[in-house]
Homo-oligomer: A and B are copies of this chain.
Amino acid sequence: MRGFYIGRFQPYHEGHHHMVEEIAEQVDELVLGIGSAGDSHTPRNPFTAGERVMMVTKSVAEFDLPTYVVPIEDLDRNSVWVSHVQSMSPAFDVAFSNNPLVIRLFEEAGVEVRQSPMFRREILEGSELRERMADGEEWGSLVPDPAAAVIEECNGVDRIQQVSDSDGADTANS
């Protein structure tokens, strides 16, 4: 059985990692979708899709599970979102999510969805993690080591701190 788990992974952290560990017990193969793949260089979406592909791939290598890591660009059209995801991903049997909108969209399309209490934790950690980076506080303990290495390689903390001065502007044109 193949499972699908989507996140923005900005960045990939221990919350995601435990989630993947839990999913690994339920599936034979796992597709990890990198959501909002086109976004980067903002306080909320600091890393490019490529940087996130590397973080995720290196981190999940420790699990004995065949994985596919696919960037998925936004289409901004909820009614075709499931088809879009399905076209970018190897065929999957079950989706893992706690996001009510994602659950609704998959269910209306007839895709089985499994929820987990761990998802909420993941969301909170992502936000706190970026704040810690922006404020120059300790963050290394919240992400798997391979992800931390990628963040350092692309000067991620420096980037977050600089773009956080933009007063919430999300694009260079704002």
How many chain A residues touch B (Cβ–Cβ < 8 Å)?
Answer: 60
Which B residues touch A72, using CB under 8 A? 173
A42→B78 CA distance, assembly (Å): 8
Which B residues touch A51, using CB under 8 A? 90-91
Residues facing B in A12-68 (CB within 8 A) are: 35-42, 48-51, 53-54, 57, 68
Q: Is the CB of A163 within 8 A of B71?
A: no
Which B residues touch A8, using CB under 8 A? 173
Q: Is the CB of B41 within 8 A of A90?
A: no
Q: Is the CB of B163 within 8 A of A90?
A: no
- The smallest C-beta distance from A112 to any residue of chain B, in angstroms, reads 16
